[in-house]
């Protein structure tokens, strides 16, 4: 049970990191885009 829960927690953390990375990338692209437009 504990091993299963631990792997589930690790998978959730990985998914959250992926979401944060994609969001940061989108924010960075948006910032660069706004810099070029202004």
Percentage of the chain with pLDDT > 90? 3
**Coil, helix or strand at residue 23:** helix
4 class by beta-carbon count within 10 Å (0-12 exposed, 13-18 middle, 19+ buried): exposed
pLDDT on residue 8: 86
The pLDDT-based confidence of 13 (bands split at 50, 70, 90) is confident
The pLDDT-based confidence of 3 (bands split at 50, 70, 90) is low
Write down the pTM of the prediction. Answer: 0.51
Integer Cα distance of 37 and 15 in angstroms: 33
């Amino acid at each position: 049970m504990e091993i299963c829960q631990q792997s589930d927690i690790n998978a959730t953390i990985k998914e959250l990191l992926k979401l944060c990375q994609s969001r940061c990338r989108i924010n960075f692209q948006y910032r660069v885009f706004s810099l070029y437009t202004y």
